[in-house]
Chain A
Amino acid sequence: MNDLLIHLALFLAISIAIVTLGAFYSEPDDARALRSLPRRLATFVIGCVVLAVVMLVCEHTFASLG
């Protein structure tokens, strides 16, 4: 459980860097890029969660040794 929390924290930390650079890349104006960060971060994290769930379902369905 502790390890899971650490991995989630690591994921959130790298997400902030990815989303911020993505915002700067697509938005030349600093103020607008910074304002869009919460929405972008939420979209990124939710997208990753959906992807993780799909992968877990696929693993459980098609690759389970049980």
Chain B
Amino acid sequence: MSGSGKDPQRGDPTVATLLGWFVPGAGHLLLGEFASALLAFALVGGLYALGLSLSGGMAFEFLDPELRGALAPILSPEAGTLGGFVWQLRQYGYGPGYPRLFPETVRLGSALCATAGVANVVTMVHVHLFARTGNLRASLRPAALVGLAWLVPGLGHLVQGRRLRAAIVFTLLVGLFAAGTLLAEGSNLSRERHFYYWAGQFLLGAPAQLAEALFGATRVTGPIPYAEAGLVYGCVAGLLNVLAMIDVYGWAEARLLGLDPRVRGGGERSPQGEELRA
């Protein structure tokens, strides 16, 4: 789908989005929106910096030594803000090479860095739509909906008025995650134990973070028969939430551009998008 007919594009959406991926707010800056650029940089950069401060930059040291490579943590949510990710990797990397104690706030810190990655994806959605439509304010809604869809599975659908879909998405994904946590007896709620599975699980948003905050310190005292099944359940629940987020985005984008969101491909375009018209 391309930009709306009436409002001219503000710039190349791909370039703006890629710039925003490297440095939060850089895409907005390219399009001449200094205040938005500053806000995006302060929000994403601030979250990342706070996370680094609380974790001592040690989150990548959770990776098992045999898995550590030049780009091994690229599947982390932190990669949502590439500049921060590369900076963390170069500045802190995998530590000095010998085991040392993690700070007490390392879990909160690593979660904040990961959240900064997702927050930057939201700013990238915004700058992409802004570049296409030229409407800064109307482009905020799809971006916010994507953020809500990440925060609570189904919440983006609910705000869009798609109640049945919201209920099914929430029940299936949170149920899958809860079943996985029961099967793994809580052992899945640790980035230190399961670096990559945790990355997938993080995409489930608040339910996964809440469960980790409440039960993440559970000790493993014996064999867990279905631990691997539990890990897969939790990780798949998070990955499936990405599909739900894209679905929310597609619907919001179609409405913004004045297309029929119920028709695959958008159907007939109205002279001006619903959101833009509003």
Contacts and interface: CB of A to CB of B under 8 A. Distances in A.
B68 interface: no
B176 interface: yes
B172 A13 contact: no
A30 B251 CA distance: 13
Nearest to A25: B243
A10 B226 contact: yes
A25 to B, nearest CB: 4
A30 B164 contact: yes
Contacts of A21: 169, 172-173, 240, 243-244
Contact of A13 (B169, B179, B243, B250): B179
Interface in B244-278: 244, 246-247, 250-251, 261-264
B40 interface: no
B229 interface: yes
Given A24-B247, A25-B246, A28-B262, A14 B236 contact: yes
Given A25-B243, A29-B262, A30-B162, A20 B226 contact: no
A17 B240 contact: yes
Interface residues of B, number: 28
Which interface class (under 10, 10 to 19, 20 to 34, 35 or more) fits A?
10 to 19
Main secondary structure of the interface of A (DSSP, over half): helix
Contacts of A29: 262
Contacts of A14: 176, 232-233, 236
Contacts of B175: 17
A30 B167 CA distance: 12
Nearest to B168: A20
A30 B244 CA distance: 13
Contacts of A24: 165, 168-169, 243-244, 247
B237 interface: yes
Interface string B164-192: 11001100110110010001000000000
Given A24-B243, A30-B165, A18 B236 contact: yes
